[in-house]
Amino acid sequence: MYHDALLRWGSEGGCCMLNKVLVANRGEIALRVIRACQELEIPAVAVFSDADEEALHVRHADEAVRIGPPPAGKSYLNAEALIEAAIETDAEGVHPGYGFLAENASFAAACRDAGLTFIGPSAEAIEKMGNKSAARRIAIEAEVPVVPGSEKSADALETAEEIGYPVMVKAAAGGGGRGIRVAENEEELRKALRVARQEAEKAFGEGSLYLEKLLTGPRHVEVQVMGDHEGNVIHLYERECSMQRRRQKILEEAPSPGISPEVREKMAEAAVRLAREVRYTSAGTVEFLVEGDEFYFIEMNTRIQVEHPVTETLTGVDLVKEQLRVAGGERLSLKQEDVPFNGWAMEFRINAEDPEKDFMPSPGEISFLDVPGGPGVRVDSAIYQGYKIPPFYDSMVGKLIVWALTREEAINRARRALREYRLEGIKTTIPLHMRLLEDEAFRSGEYHTGYLEELLKRD
Ligand code: ADP
Ligand code: ADP
Ligand code: MG
C-alpha cells in the first residue's frame, strides 16, 4: 500500500498545473515552496526586501523581484507590491507561505480580484476561521468539542464565574502566541481584558477578545488536513506540539506519544468534519488541547505550518506540491485509506536566540556552518556560511527533521544530527534541543504545554 501510494503521488504534471508561481515570503518557507515548484517544473518567482538581497530564496528562484523600499520589515506585508510583482512576471499563482499575509483574507481576495490563484483556501474560509472566536462558534455548530468559555468578552466576568477560575483571555485576531492573558480571579480578569485588548489592537489592528477556561497541563495536538475543489477532505494524522515556550512551539513530533488510537481517530474525524463545514481547500491545521481522553478545539490555521515537514516525513506526502496541484484545479492525489502512517518523525526549530539569555534574539553573521546529513535527516533552512541574518524578521533560521522506525531511534538520530550541526557566529536553540533529548520527561513522551517553562524555571 505504501509504495502504491507513493507511486501515485509521484505522477507529476497534469492538465491544470499553474504556469508560474510567485512566492510571497522569505526564509526557509520561501525556499521550501520554491523547491516544490521546481520539482513540478513550475518556474518560481522570489520577492525580496532590501535586507534580503543576499538571501538564499532569491538565489534559488528562477526570477526575483525587489519589493523592498525601507523599512525592510514591512516589505513582505505590502500586498499591492506583491500582486504587482506577480502580474509583472506573468505568474499565475501566489503562495503566501506562513506568517506575513498567509492568513489575511483580504490578500487572498485581492489576488483573486487581480486574476491570480491564491495557493491556499478561499478568502471566505480564511475569513471564517481567521477570527478565533468565530471559529469557535463554527466548531460548536459542527459538534466539535471546544474548551468551556464564551465567544464574547462583554459577558467575560459572568462566564468566568460560571466556568470557574483560572481563565484565559484571548485575542480573536491573535496568533503566534500573542494577545493571550491568564487570570486567576475577577480583579486579574479585569486587568487581563484591558491589557490583552491593547496588545491585540497594537499587534493585529483589532482588539476583540474571548474567554476560555485555562486547562492546566494539557497537551497541544493538531491534525493536518487537506482539501480539494471537489469537496474531498482528508487528514494526514496528528502532530504533538506540547513543547512550547511562551505559547510558541519549539519542537514537534508525530505520532503524538500521548494519545490513544481511539482519540487519534476521533480527533482526526472531528478535524475533517470542521474542514468540510467551511468547504476547506488546500492544507490546513486544526489545533486541539488534550486532557486524558478528552480533546478540545482551540483554532484552525488556514495555511501551511512551520511544522509541516513532520507530517511529510511521517507519511511521505509532499504537502506543498499537493497545495500547488489542488490550486491548479487537480483532485487530491490520495484517498484517506491510502495515506501512509509509518515510523516516527521529529522537528527541532533552530532559532537565532540565546537560551542562556532568556532567548534574546541573536542575529549576525554565520561564520561557520556544517549541516547534518545521513540516513533519516532533513534540514529545511535558508542560511549559509557567510550569510548575515538580518534583525528584522522572525528568529527561526532553520529546522532539523529526523525520521526513524521507532521513537527511540528517532531520538538517537536527532542527537547524532544535532551533534553534527555546527553553526558558529550566532547563538541558537541547538543546546536546548540537546538538553531536551536527554530529558527524562521528553524521553518518556510524558510532557505537556507547561513543561518546558517549568524546566527552564528550575535553572
Ligand atoms: P506554527 O508555528 O504552528 O506554524 P505559529 O502560530 O507559530 O504557527 O505561526 C507561524 C509563524 O507565523 C510564526 O513566525 C509566527 O510568528 C507568525 N504568525 C502567526 N500568526 C501571526 C499573526 N497573527 N500575526 C503575525 N505573525 C503571525
Ligand atoms: P495562537 O493563535 O497564538 O497560536 P492558540 O489559541 O493556538 O494561540 O494557543 C497557543 C497555545 O496557548 C496553545 O498551544 C497552548 O499551549 C496554550 N493555550 C491556548 N488555550 C489554552 C487554554 N484554554 N488552556 C491552557 N492553555 C491554552
Ligand atoms: Mg495556535
Coil vs helix vs strand at 39: helix
**What average pLDDT does this structure show over 16-24?**
93
Are residue 353 and residue 284 in the same domain, yes or no?
A: yes
**What average pLDDT does this structure show over 143-163?**
94
Tell me, yes or no, whether 366 lies in a domain. yes
CATH assignment at residue 352: 3.30.470.20
Atom of ligand 2 nearest to the CA of 174: 2
Binned at pLDDT 50, 70 and 90, residue 13 comes out as: very low
Closest ligand (CA of 167): 2
Residue percentage of the chain with pLDDT more than 90:
93
Closest to 230 measured CA to CA, from 325, 95, 340:
325
pLDDT tens for each residue of 300-337: 999 999 999 999 999 999 999 999 999 999 999 999 99
Are residue 276 and residue 308 in the same domain, yes or no?
A: yes
Q: Could you tell which of 132, 180, 454 is best to mutate to test the pocket of ligand 2, judged by most ligand atoms within 8 Å of the CB?
A: 180
Are residue 50 and residue 101 in the same domain, yes or no?
A: yes
Distance in Å, CA 220 to ligand 3 centroid: 9
Active-site residue (options: 303, 325, 349, 413): 303
pLDDT tens for each residue of 97-137: 999 999 999 999 999 999 999 999 999 999 999 999 999 99
Distance in Å, CA 17 to ligand 3 centroid: 32
Tell me, yes or no, whether 12 lies in a domain. no
Place of cell 527552564: 456
Place of cell 468534519: 273
pLDDT tens for each residue of 368-400: 999 999 999 999 999 999 999 999 999 999 999
Is 122:284 a contact under the CB 8 Å cutoff? no
Distance in Å, CA 146 to ligand 3 centroid: 14
Q: Could you tell which of 216, 252, 289, 305 is best to mutate to test the pocket of ligand 2, judged by most ligand atoms within 8 Å of the CB?
A: 289
CATH assignment at residue 175: 3.30.1490.20
**Which residues neighbour 185 within 8 Å (Cβ) at sequence distance 6 or greater?**
165
Q: Which amino acid is at 84?
A: E
C-alpha–C-alpha distance, residues 216 and 212, integer Å: 12
What residues flank ion ligand 3 with Cβ within 5 A? 287
Tell me, yes or no, whether 418 lies in a domain. yes
pTM greater than 0.85: yes
Ligand 1 pocket at CB < 6 A: 98-99, 175-176, 204, 248-249, 301, 305-307, 394
pLDDT tens for each residue of 234-246: 999 999 999 999 9
Are residue 283 and residue 164 in the same domain, yes or no?
A: no
Is 93:119 a contact under the CB 8 Å cutoff? yes
Binned at pLDDT 50, 70 and 90, residue 153 comes out as: confident
Distance in Å, CA 14 to ligand 1 centroid: 33
Tell me, yes or no, whether 289 lies in a domain. yes
C-alpha–C-alpha distance, residues 115 and 109, integer Å: 10
Structure confidence at residue 3 (pLDDT): 40
pLDDT tens for each residue of 402-444: 999 999 999 999 999 999 999 999 999 999 999 999 999 999 9
CATH assignment at residue 52: 3.40.50.20
Are residue 191 and residue 321 in the same domain, yes or no?
A: no
Structure confidence at residue 427 (pLDDT): 98
Distance in Å, CA 132 to ligand 2 centroid: 11
Are residue 226 and residue 272 in the same domain, yes or no?
A: yes
Sign of the dihedral through C-alpha 347, 351, 353, 354 = positive
pLDDT tens for each residue of 425-436: 999 999 999 999
Q: Answer with the one of 169, 186, 213 that is the final residue of a domain.
A: 213
Q: Show the CA angle centred on residue 417, arms to residues 421 and 311, nearest 5°.
A: 115
Number of domains the chain contains = 3
Are residue 209 and residue 225 in the same domain, yes or no?
A: no
Coil vs helix vs strand at 371: coil
Q: Answer with the one of 118, 139, 165 that is the final residue of a domain.
A: 118
Give the H or E element holding residue 323.
helix 319-327
Tell me, yes or no, whether 263 lies in a domain. yes
Question: In this structure, how many other beta carbons lie within 10 angstroms of the beta carbon of residue 299?
Answer: 21
Three cell numbers written together for 404: 526513524
Are residue 98 and residue 241 in the same domain, yes or no?
A: no
Place of cell 487530491: 332
Tell the residue nearest (CA) to atom 26 of ligand 1: 99
Residue 61, domain extent = 19-118
Atom of ligand 1 nearest to the CA of 307: 4
Q: Which residues pair with 380 in a beta bridge?
A: 399
Q: Answer with the one of 186, 213, 240 that is the final residue of a domain.
A: 213
Where residue 217 falls (left for φ over 0; alpha for ψ -120 to 50; beta otherwise) is: left
Tell the residue nearest (CA) to atom 24 of ligand 1: 175
Are residue 415 and residue 398 in the same domain, yes or no?
A: yes
C-alpha–C-alpha distance, residues 65 and 98, integer Å: 19
Tell me, yes or no, whether 142 lies in a domain. no
Tell me, yes or no, whether 124 lies in a domain. no
SS3 content of the chain, % helix, strand, coil (to 5): 40, 25, 35
Q: Is 331 a catalytic residue?
A: no
Tell me, yes or no, whether 192 lies in a domain. yes
Closest to 46 measured CA to CA, from 33, 384, 185:
33
For 50-82, letters b (16+ CB in 10 Å) and e give: ebbeebbbbebbebbbbbbeeebeebbebbebb
Q: Could you tell which of 449, 451, 454 is best to mutate to test the pocket of ligand 2, judged by most ligand atoms within 8 Å of the CB?
A: 449
Coil vs helix vs strand at 207: coil
First to last CA, the chain: 48
Are residue 50 and residue 171 in the same domain, yes or no?
A: no
Closest to 227 measured CA to CA, from 286, 139, 287, 176:
286
C-alpha–C-alpha distance, residues 107 and 101, integer Å: 7
Are residue 344 and residue 267 in the same domain, yes or no?
A: yes
Are residue 61 and residue 87 in the same domain, yes or no?
A: yes
Atom of ligand 2 nearest to the CA of 147: 23
Give how far Cα 427 sits from Cα of 56, 112, 130, 352, 388, Å.
20, 42, 34, 6, 13
Tell the residue nearest (CA) to atom 17 of ligand 1: 99
C-alpha–C-alpha distance, residues 11 and 18, integer Å: 16
Q: What is the mean pLDDT of the chain?
A: 95
Residue percentage of the chain with pLDDT more than 70:
96
pLDDT tens for each residue of 39-54: 999 999 999 999 999 9
Distance in Å, CA 92 to ligand 2 centroid: 36
Ligand 2 pocket at CB < 6 A: 147, 168, 170, 174-177, 212, 214-215, 218, 220, 244, 247, 287, 289, 298-299, 449
Three cell numbers written together for 355: 537560551
C-alpha–C-alpha distance, residues 174 and 298, integer Å: 12
Binned at pLDDT 50, 70 and 90, residue 156 comes out as: very high
Which range is least confidently modeled, 4-8, 50-54, 209-213?
4-8
DSSP notation for 327-362: HTTPPPS--GGG----SEEEEEEEESEEGGGTTEE-
Binned at pLDDT 50, 70 and 90, residue 70 comes out as: low
Q: SS3 letters for 216-248?
A: CCCEEEEEEEEECCCCCEEEEEEEEEEEEECCE
